[in-house]
Amino acid sequence: MYARKLVVFIAQAITVGLALAFLLTLFWPGLLRREAPSVEVRESAELAALPAGGPVSYAGAVDRAAPAVVNINTAKVVTVKPNPLFKDPIFQKFFGQGQNSPRQRVERSLGSGVIFSDQGYILTNHHVIGGADAIQVFLRDGRSATAKVIGGDPETDLAVLKIDLKNLPAITLGKSERVRVGDVVLAIGNPFGVGQTVTMGIVSATGRSALGINTFENFIQTDAAINPGNSGGALVDAHGNLIGINTVIFSQTGGSVGIGFAIPTSLAKGVMEQIIEHGRPLRGWLGIEAQMLTPELLEAFGLKKGTEGLVITALYRDGPAHKAGVEPGDILVAIDGKKIVDAREVLLVISNHKPGEHVRLDLIREGKPFSVNAVAAERPTPKPRADRG
Which of 112, 126, 153, 157 is catalytic? The answer is 157
DSSP state of 129: H
Catalytic residue status for 157:
yes
8 Å CB contact between 310 and 292: yes
Where does 116-223 show beta strands of DSSP type E? 121-124, 134-138, 144-146, 148-153, 158-162, 184-189, 197-208, 219-222
CB atoms within 10 A of CB 269: 15
Catalytic residue status for 231:
yes
Whole-number Å distance between alpha carbons of 329 and 215: 25
CB atoms within 10 A of CB 167: 7
Count of CA atoms in the C-beta half-sphere (13 A) of 144: 8
8 Å CB contact between 354 and 284: yes
Which of 126, 127, 204, 256 is catalytic? The answer is 127
Which of 231, 237, 330, 351 is catalytic? The answer is 231
CB atoms within 10 A of CB 339: 11
Question: Which residues are within 8 A (CB) of 147 and not within 5 positions of it... i.e. 6 or more apart?
Answer: 72, 122, 135, 136, 137, 161, 162, 163
DSSP state of 208: E
List, by residue number, the catalytic residues.
127, 157, 231
